[in-house]
Amino acid sequence: MDTRAWLIRLLVIAVAFASSAMCWDVAHSQETELSGLSEQNIVAPQVWSSSRSVRSAPHAIVVEGVEASVNIADQAATTSMVVRLYNPGGARQEAVLLIPVPAGASVRSFDFEGKSAEPTAKLLPEAEAIRTYKSIVAKLRDPALLEFAGYGLIRSSVFPVEPRGRQVVRVVYEELLERDDNRVDYLLPRSEMLSLSTVPWTITVNIRSSKAVSAVYSPSHPVVFSRKDTGGGTVTLSGGRTTEPGPFQLSYMLEKGEVTASLLAYPDAKSGGGYFLLLAGLPAEAQEAGAKSMKRELTLVLDRSGSMQGNKIEQAKAAALQVIEGLGDGEAFNIIDYNDHIERFSFKPVVKDAKTIADARAYVRSLQASGGTNLHDAVLEAVSQGPTQELLPLVLLLSDGLPTIGITSEVQIRTDVAKANVHGRRIFTFGVGHDVNAPLLDNIAQTSRAAMTVVQPDEDVEVKVSSLFSKLSGPILAAPALEAVDADGNVLAGTVRDVLPSVLPDMFKGDQLVVLGKYTGGGPLRFRLRGSYLGEARTYSLQFALEKATMKNAFVARLWASRRIAVLADAIRQMGAETAAVPRTNNTALPVDPRMKELTDEIVRLSTEFGVLTEYTAFLANEGTNLADRIAQNSTALDNFQQSAVLKRGGAHAQSQQNNIAEQRAQSKSNRANEFQDAEMNTVRITNVQQVGNRSFFRRGANWVDAQTVKDKPVPAPDEVVEFGSARFDEVLTRLTAQNNQGVLSLGGEALFELDGKVIKIVFPAESK
C-alpha cells in the first residue's frame, strides 16, 4: 500500500472515532449479544423484507425500503444507508438491526428518530459476525444469514418503533477500497437469493478522483454513469430495477493513456486456466462534449413501400431530417429510398452545408409510400458507394416488412450484402413493426460491426432513430481488433480462446469495451489491441498478471457462458434460413441438420452447468425435467429451436427472440433471474433456478440440487449428511467461504452440493414459520 493509501486509511479510522460521541464496542460473548432475542424482532434489510422473531410475532416489522448513498473519494468510500421500517402492530416494538458490511469497514455514525436513549451500535469483526449468524440461525431456524459469512457486521437495537408507525434508521460506515493497478472496486453486501429480493433499494454512488476516470462498470446491476467532469460523476441504478437481487458491485478505472484497460479473472481448475473479463475505456477528455472525434459519412436507407403509409412514413421522414441536420461540420450524407425501385438523393455522399441541407429537406418531404419492398438492391446500393476519405462510413437502414420484390431469399441477401460491403460500412438496421425478417436484419448489422434496433408498433420511429444516432456521436476508436501475443509480440495460439465478441464494435463517446474469454496456464496474459484512434492507426500493448484471479469473480464465467449460448443460438437461427425456405406440408417433419444438433447439445450443457436459461431451455427448470437424462433434454431443446428459432422469421415471436439474443450476446451484467421475453413479448423470470457463486442449483421438490452433482440420478443420494452446529458443519462453512460459495447454505430447504468430490447434504433445524 502506498503512502497516500495509508494516509487515507488513518483518516478513515480517525474520523470514525472522532466524529461521534456514541459508544462503539465489540461483543465478547454470544450470550450477551443475543440476550433478549426472543422478545425482539431481527431486522436484516439486506436479507429479509420483514423482521424475524423466535416467538411467533403477529405483526412483524416491515422493511419498506433502503436508500444507499455512497461517496468515493480516491479509494476512501463512505456508505450511508437509510433503512425505513414500519410497525403494523398495535404495540411498541423493539428491533435488532443487523447490517453486514465489508471486512475492514469502520462505523462512522448510527442514529434513528425518536430514540428513548443514546443509540449504541456494535461493529463485529468477521469471526464474531459468523458466531452471531450461527446463533441466530439456530434460534430462528432460518439459514439466510449464513450467506454473509466472511463479512463484518453492524448490530444495534432500535427502540421504539411506534404502533402503526414508521422509523427511519441511518447508518454510515467507511472503508478503504482495494485497488488493482488502475481499477478500484466497491461492493455493497446484499443477498443474492431470488426469493428474498422484494425490498426496494435505491443506490447512488458519487465518484470523485484526483485522477481522470476512464470507465465505470457494474457486473451486477444495470447502471447509468452521469459524468460531471474528468474526475468522476454519479452512478445510479437504471430502468427502475430497485429489487434486483445480489450484492451491488462497481468498478471504475483511472485513466492511463488513450486506452485504459483492466482484467478480472476467475480460476477454473478443471480447464487448467480460467475465464477473463477485459474492461477497456477511453480518455475522459475525449468523452466530453465538444471533444475532438472522428467525422462520419452517413447514408440513410428509407423504406417507402406501401406498408409505410400513414404515420410511419411521416415519422421516418422526420427522423431522416433530424439526423441529417444533426451532423457536424465536415461530415457527409446521402439518402437512398426504396420500394419496387431504388432512388437516391445523390450519386455519392455529399458534405453537409447550407445548400445540401436545403436540397435534402425538399427531397425527403417529397417521398411518398407505395409499392413493394426491394430490400436487396437498396442495401447493395448503399454499401457499393465510393467512400468519403477519412470519414467513418455508417448506414442507417429502415424497413417495416419482408422483402417482396427482386431477390427475396434471406440467405442470398445476407451473402450478397456481406460480399458487396468492401468499404466496411457499419449498417445499423431498424425493424419497424412485427412484419420484418428479424434474423436477416440482425445478421446484416452484426456482420458489419453494427446492431439492430426493434421499433415496436406503438413506438415512434423518429424517436428510436434519433436516439440511436445520438449514441453514435463522436467515434473515437474505430475497427478495434484484439489478439493474444507472447512476450516478443508474436501472435500466440491456444493461450486465449472463445473470445466474445469475436468482432469488436467501434467505440463511441461514453462507450466501454467488455471482452470475455477463456485462458489456459498461469499467465501473464498479453494482448495487442489495434484500431483507428481519432482517425489515426494505433497499436496498444496490454499485459495482465493472473495472481489476483479469484473465486469471487465467478460472475465472469457465467457472463461468458451467457454470451456463448447467445452466439450458438443465433447460429442456429441463421442456419434456419435454409431450413425454413424448404417447402413442406403441415405433416412434414423439419429436416434435422447435424450441425444444429451439435450446437443444441452444447447449449444444453452450458445452460445446465452455469444455470443460464433461455426460452429454448427454460424447461430445464421444470420440476418434471430429469437433469440426468441428457438425451431427452437435448431432444426437447432441439425441437424448441426448430419450432421457434428456425420457423419464426417474422412476427412478434421473431422479434422477441431477436431482443433476447441481442441482450444476451452483449451481456455484461448478471441476469440472476434468467429474464427473457416470451412469444407474446412478456417478461418471464425463472425463480426455481438459483445461481450461487460458481454453482447452479435447480429446485426439485424440497431439494436444491447442485448441477455438478447430477450424474445418473436427477436427485443424487448424499455421500455425507452434515448437521448444522456440528464441528463438521464449521469445516464445511469454512471451505465454502474460501470458495465464495457460502450462499449455498442460505438456500433453505435441503441443498445437495458437491464439495471435495463428495455430495453433501446439510440438515438444519426445521424452519420457523
Least confident of 47-56, 156-165, 177-186, 580-589: 580-589
Which of 405, 395, 519 is closest to 469 using CA atoms? Answer: 395
In percent, the amount of the chain with pLDDT more than 70 equals 91
410-420 and 438-446 helices, crossing angle to 10°? 20
Whether pLDDT at 26 is above 80: no
Q: Would you say 239 and 280 are in contact if contact means Cβ atoms under 8 Å apart?
A: no
Q: Would you say 46 and 102 are in contact if contact means Cβ atoms under 8 Å apart?
A: no
Per-residue pLDDT band at 498 (split at 50, 70, 90)? very high
Q: Would you say 742 and 114 are in contact if contact means Cβ atoms under 8 Å apart?
A: no
Question: In 538-688, where does DSSP find H-type helix?
Answer: 554-580, 594-610, 630-640, 652-665
And the C-alpha cell for 147? 450467506
Per-residue pLDDT band at 475 (split at 50, 70, 90)? confident
Q: What's the whole-number mean pLDDT along residues 48-54?
A: 84
Q: Would you say 381 and 347 are in contact if contact means Cβ atoms under 8 Å apart?
A: no
725-743 burial: b if 16+ Cβ within 10 Å, else e: eeeebeebbeebbebbbbb
Q: How far apart are CA 414 and CA 649, in angstroms?
A: 14
In sign, the C-alpha dihedral spanning 665, 669, 674, 679 is negative
Q: What's the whole-number mean pLDDT along residues 468-492?
A: 91
Whether pLDDT at 425 is above 80: yes
In sign, the C-alpha dihedral spanning 459, 463, 466, 471 is negative
Least confident of 114-118, 206-210, 355-359: 114-118
Whether pLDDT at 510 is above 80: yes
And the C-alpha cell for 152? 463484518
In the 8-state DSSP scheme, what is residue 496?
E
Q: What's the whole-number mean pLDDT along residues 473-491?
A: 92
Say whether 331 sits in a helix, a strand or coil. Answer: coil
Model-wide pTM > 0.85: yes
Report the pLDDT value the prediction gives residue 290, as an integer from 0 to 100. 62
Q: How far apart are CA 527 and CA 496, in angstroms?
A: 10
Task: HSE, CB side, 13 Å, CA atoms: give it for residue 718.
Answer: 16
Report the pLDDT value the prediction gives residue 3, as an integer from 0 to 100. 46
Per-residue pLDDT band at 10 (split at 50, 70, 90)? very low
Q: Between the CA of residue 520 and those of 21, 204, 347, 374, 502, what are the distances in Å?
A: 54, 38, 52, 49, 18
Q: Between the CA of residue 462 and those of 191, 435, 659, what are the distances in Å?
A: 41, 19, 20
And the C-alpha cell for 60? 412483524
Q: Would you say 93 and 87 are in contact if contact means Cβ atoms under 8 Å apart?
A: yes
Q: How far apart are CA 134 and CA 547, in angstroms?
A: 33
Which of 302, 505, 301, 299 is closest to 388 using CA atoms? Answer: 299
Per-residue pLDDT band at 700 (split at 50, 70, 90)? very high
Q: Would you say 340 and 369 are in contact if contact means Cβ atoms under 8 Å apart?
A: no
Q: Angle CA(459)–CA(463)–CA(468) in degrees, nearest 5?
A: 115
Whether pLDDT at 600 is above 80: yes
Whether pLDDT at 563 is above 80: yes
> pLDDT for 152-208, tens place per residue?
999 999 989 999 999 999 999 999 999 999 999 999 999 999 888 789 999 999 999
The three state secondary structure string of 136-181 is HHHHHCCHHHHHHCCCEEEEEEEEEECCCCEEEEEEEEEEECCEEC
In the 8-state DSSP scheme, what is residue 643?
I
Phi-psi sector, 48: left (phi>0), alpha (psi -120 to 50), beta: beta
> pLDDT for 224-281, tens place per residue?
999 999 999 999 998 777 889 999 999 999 999 899 999 999 999 888 999 999 999 9
DSSP string across 390-455: TSEEEEEEEE-S---SS---HHHHHHHHHHH-TT--EEEEEEESS-S-HHHHHHHHHTTT--EEEE
642 contacts: CB under 8 Å, gap ≥ 6: 576, 579, 590, 592, 596
Report the pLDDT value the prediction gives residue 58, as an integer from 0 to 100. 65
Report the pLDDT value the prediction gives residue 748, as an integer from 0 to 100. 74
Q: How far apart are CA 376 and CA 379, in angstroms?
A: 6
CA 479 and chain centroid, separation? 24
And the C-alpha cell for 375? 430490400
Report the pLDDT value the prediction gives residue 765, as an integer from 0 to 100. 75
Per-residue pLDDT band at 604 (split at 50, 70, 90)? very high
And the C-alpha cell for 757? 468430490
Q: How far apart are CA 508 and CA 476, in angstroms?
A: 5
Q: Length of the chain in residues, anyone?
A: 769
Q: Angle CA(118)–CA(124)–CA(126) in degrees, nearest 5?
A: 165
Return phi, psi of residue 543, to 5°.
-140, 135
* 613 exposure class (CB count in 10 Å sphere: 0-12, 13-18, 19+): buried
Report the pLDDT value the prediction gives residue 22, as an integer from 0 to 100. 32
> pLDDT for 616-651, tens place per residue?
999 999 998 999 999 999 999 999 999 999 999 999
Report the pLDDT value the prediction gives residue 46, as an integer from 0 to 100. 94
User: E strands, 627-749, where?
Assistant: 676-677, 683-684, 689-692, 695-700, 703-706, 720-723
Q: What's the whole-number mean pLDDT along residues 136-146?
A: 89
Whether pLDDT at 330 is above 60: yes
Phi-psi sector, 150: left (phi>0), alpha (psi -120 to 50), beta: left
> pLDDT for 654-675, tens place per residue?
999 999 999 999 999 999 999 9
CA 91 and chain centroid, separation? 44
Return phi, psi of residue 380, to 5°.
-65, -35
Q: Would you say 383 and 395 are in contact if contact means Cβ atoms under 8 Å apart?
A: yes
> pLDDT for 708-756, tens place per residue?
999 888 889 999 999 998 999 999 999 999 999 999 999 977 889 999 9
And the C-alpha cell for 309? 403509409
* 494 exposure class (CB count in 10 Å sphere: 0-12, 13-18, 19+): exposed
Mean pLDDT of the chain: 90
Q: Would you say 544 and 534 are in contact if contact means Cβ atoms under 8 Å apart?
A: no
And the C-alpha cell for 120? 449504541
Per-residue pLDDT band at 6 (split at 50, 70, 90)? very low
